[in-house]
């Protein structure tokens, strides 16, 4: 089939990330193409697509080819599409949405399997996103640290100060009236990927408060070490956005950080998250 034969995947960094070409996501994807994309996604952890100016219905159709779209707990979706939220920073704002290394909504009992972001408006420069592989980060830990972390659980909270600050403008303008004040969940510090079987670090500076059964003060030294370790340059890749660019990342084994270096300009993205399972 031509649609499958033309599809190509090019790795862009050593640890993770690949750019996909030869596919038109505005059209229904044949099952073979979806299977190839999913295999590439599991291998590379984040896929990037260019020149895909999808209408909301087309964006939703692409999302459904990979999983089940779910609503974001704090911000309401766009009109007629509650699962699509706007991730935006306006000209007068100085804080960007999610502007810190994180895994999406780790404070939920069932965090999303995946997230996908579609660029609508981008600044003339800046606004790139960094991604980091948590499997590479785990693999690079010493055997002693791996043994120490095995079996530990971490407490993750939506109330942690850093992440609350990065979404406050959107909650003011687009907040959901039914959102809880705080969401919290305990998850394994070392998560086993349900599809690949690989182990990944599953703590992040935006949401992780402490280890279960330990105080914040007792947890802090080890968590600080892990937070510094898991975003080392050799575990990362960087994506430069253009209108119509899409990123699809595996929320179970990656982190991301949108760089806040474009004050005075607009950046508007559409985001969909896909239903996940309970981390194990």
Catalytic-role residue among 44, 104, 187, 270: 104
pTM (two decimals): 0.93
Is the model's pLDDT at 228 over the cut of 60? yes
Q: What is the CATH number of the domain that holds 201?
A: 3.60.130.10
pLDDT value, residue 1: 41
Answer whether residue 115 is part of any domain. Answer: yes
Is 271 an active-site residue? Answer: yes
Tokens 């994807």 sit on residue: 29
pLDDT value, residue 163: 46
- Bridge partners (DSSP) listed for residue 118: 246, 270
Containing domain of residue 262, as a range? 2-274
| Residue 63, φ and ψ in degrees, nearest 5 | -60, -45
Distance CA 245, CA 173 (A): 25
C-beta neighbour count of 6 within 10 angstroms:
12
Residues 255, 100: contact at Cβ < 8 Å?
Answer: no
Answer whether residue 279 is part of any domain. Answer: no
Is 102 an active-site residue? Answer: yes
Answer whether residue 280 is part of any domain. Answer: no
Catalytic-role residue among 102, 167, 191, 198: 102
Say which residues have a Cβ less than 8 Å from residue 35's Cβ, sequence separation at least 6. Answer: none
Question: pLDDT tens, 229-242?
Answer: 999 999 999 999 99
Mean pLDDT taken over the chain: 92
Catalytic-role residue among 187, 198, 252, 256: 256
Element (H, E) at 56: helix 56-66
Q: At what angle do helices 31-44 and 56-66 cross, to 10 degrees?
A: 70
What is the pLDDT averaged over residues 168-184? 57
Q: How many domains does the chain have?
A: 1
pLDDT value, residue 98: 87
């Amino acid at each position: 089939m031509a649609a499958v034969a033309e599809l190509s995947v090019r790795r862009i960094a050593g640890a993770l990330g690949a750019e996909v070409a030869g596919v038109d996501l505005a059209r229904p994807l044949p099952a073979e193409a979806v299977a190839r994309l999913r295999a590439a996604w599991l291998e590379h952890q984040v896929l990037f697509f260019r020149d895909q100016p999808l209408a909301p219905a087309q964006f939703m159709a692409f999302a459904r080819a990979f999983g089940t779209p779910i609503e974001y707990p704090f911000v309401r979706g766009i009109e007629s599409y509650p699962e699509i939220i706007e991730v935006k920073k306006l000209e007068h704002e100085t804080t960007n949405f999610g502007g810190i290394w994180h895994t999406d909504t780790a404070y939920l009992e069932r965090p999303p399997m995946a997230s996908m972001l579609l660029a609508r408006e981008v600044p003339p420069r800046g606004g790139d996103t960094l991604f980091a592989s948590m499997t590479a980060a785990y693999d690079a830990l010493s055997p002693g640290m791996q043994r120490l972390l095995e079996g530990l659980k971490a407490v993750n909270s939506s109330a942690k100060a850093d992440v609350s600050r990065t979404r406050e403008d959107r909650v003011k303008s687009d907040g959901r009236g039914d959102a809880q004040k705080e969401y919290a969940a305990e998850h394994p510090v070392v998560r086993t990927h349900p599809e690949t079987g690989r182990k990944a670090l599953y703590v992040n500076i935006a949401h992780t408060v402490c280890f279960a059964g330990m105080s914040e003060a007792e947890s802090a030294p080890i968590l600080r070490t892990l937070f510094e370790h898991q975003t080392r340059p050799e575990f990362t890749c960087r994506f430069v956005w253009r209108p119509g660019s899409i990123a699809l990342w595996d929320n179970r084994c990656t982190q991301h950080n949108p760089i806040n270096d474009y004050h005075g300009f607009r950046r508007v993205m559409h985001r969909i998250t896909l239903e996940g399972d309970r981390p194990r």
